[in-house]
Amino acid sequence: MKPTDFSKYLSDFLTKYLVHKRGASRNTVCAYRDTFVLFIGYMATQNISVNKLTLEAINQSVVVKFLDWLQAERKNSNSTRNARLAAIHAFFGYVQYQQPDYLYEYQKILSIPMKRKATVPMNYLTVDGIKALLHQPDIHTVRGRRDLALLSLMYDTGARVQEVIDLTPCSLRLDVLNTIRITGKGNKTRIVPMLHEQVKLLKPYIVENRLDQESNNKHPLFFNSRGDKLTRAGVNHILIKYADMARKTSGVFLPEKISCHILRHSKAMHLLQAGVNLVYIRDILGHVSVQTTEVYARADSKAKRLAIEKAYTSVTPEKEPVWLSNDNLMDWLKHF
């Protein structure tokens, strides 16, 4: 069977354009791929199989119905819906230059707007919350020592979960400098310094698992019982397990909903509260712009309260109001 124009351009988009011209990371390519897996599945429910799916069959109405289906049937949030739409926008932004026959329809698809996301308060742990969490792994077991090294590294470096999952022993420089090389979104690499306390946890872990041997340079730094690198779900399971333990044993408040990103948020907030410049926090977190990092300053209610208290000037009258000094309300009303 002859391949359709949709399959040809989708293959070129994922394997050539994104990787070689856009320099997209593997995670981005996989996210875009997943979007089109869902889209092809949706079109199959509309009686259009992948073997018959052409560019001519895809228009603005089809894409909008697909996005509505994601939210109605798969219960996707506005954020997830927007991420799927971003992948579709990127594809048709590419196709319009390769196959302009349906340019008007492509531009109508590109005009589909993102949905406004609900603003939710930023979740982060206090310093005591982080201490309670890191106190939970049993350091008398191999898995407990791994989990402690993993969670403490995620917090200390402010790394995203995928960034930590992708680490290998050669990402570390455990000498006088004590730094870690982290590859983030868009394959951008940043160097983050590590504290002495963090290195004290990592070095024994690396030696114990023979990750200091040259043959293991490309081995996952954190791995499961089969020797494979951990998954996002696996790391999240580890975090939730110890968070549940901390709630029961420490008496310290931890939010009910907790995810790996909360460690990154917590590190950023603690750096900000310690007076670290936003520019340095931006570089540690790997943000492209300091404007992205400013969200932590806006979310820091403690800093806002201190600023208000520092600038506070009393403007209320010192004399007690007459209605407070008169015990007999009826008498006061009669003589008012």
User: Fold for domain 5-110?
Assistant: DNA polymerase; domain 1 (1.10.150)
pLDDT band at 217 (very low <50, low <70, confident <90, very high): very high
Instruction: Summarize the confidence of residues 139-144 as an average pLDDT.
Output: 94
Amino acid letter at 73?
E
Q: Outline where DSSP puts E strands in the chain.
A: 172-173, 179-183, 189-193
Catalytic positions, please? 160, 185, 261, 264, 287, 296
Tell me, what's the pLDDT at 88? 97
Report whether pLDDT(193) > 70.
yes
Interatomic CA distance for residues 160 and 261, integer angstroms: 7
Give the three-state DSSP class for 257: coil
Question: Which of 64-73, 103-112, 117-126, 251-260 comes out lowest in average pLDDT?
Answer: 117-126
Q: Is 149 exposed, middle or buried (0-12, 13-18, 19+ CB in 10 A)?
A: buried
Interatomic CA distance for residues 100 and 186, integer angstroms: 28
Are the beta carbons of 151 and 239 closer than 8 angstroms? yes
Interatomic CA distance for residues 93 and 162, integer angstroms: 27
Question: Which of 79-93, 182-196, 262-276, 317-331 comes out lowest in average pLDDT?
Answer: 317-331
pLDDT band at 319 (very low <50, low <70, confident <90, very high): low
Span 219-264, pLDDT tens digits: 999 999 999 999 999 999 999 999 999 999 888 889 888 989 899 8
User: Fold for domain 127-308?
Assistant: hpI Integrase; Chain A (1.10.443)
Q: What percent of the chain has pLDDT over 90?
A: 58
Interatomic CA distance for residues 34 and 26, integer angstroms: 12
Report whether pLDDT(299) > 80.
no
Q: What percent of the chain has pLDDT over 70?
A: 84
Provide long-range contacts, Cβ within 8 A and 24+ apart, for 83-89: 83/31, 83/35, 84/35, 84/38, 85/112, 85/114, 86/114, 87/31, 87/32, 87/35, 87/36, 88/35, 88/39, 88/63, 88/112
> Taking the domains of the chain in order of start, what are their residue ranges?
5-110, 127-308
Instruction: Summarize the confidence of residues 22-26 as an average pLDDT.
Output: 83
pLDDT band at 195 (very low <50, low <70, confident <90, very high): confident
Give the three-state DSSP class for 176: coil
Interatomic CA distance for residues 34 and 277, integer angstroms: 38
Report whether pLDDT(45) > 70.
yes
Interatomic CA distance for residues 301 and 252, integer angstroms: 19
Tell me, what's the pLDDT at 287? 76
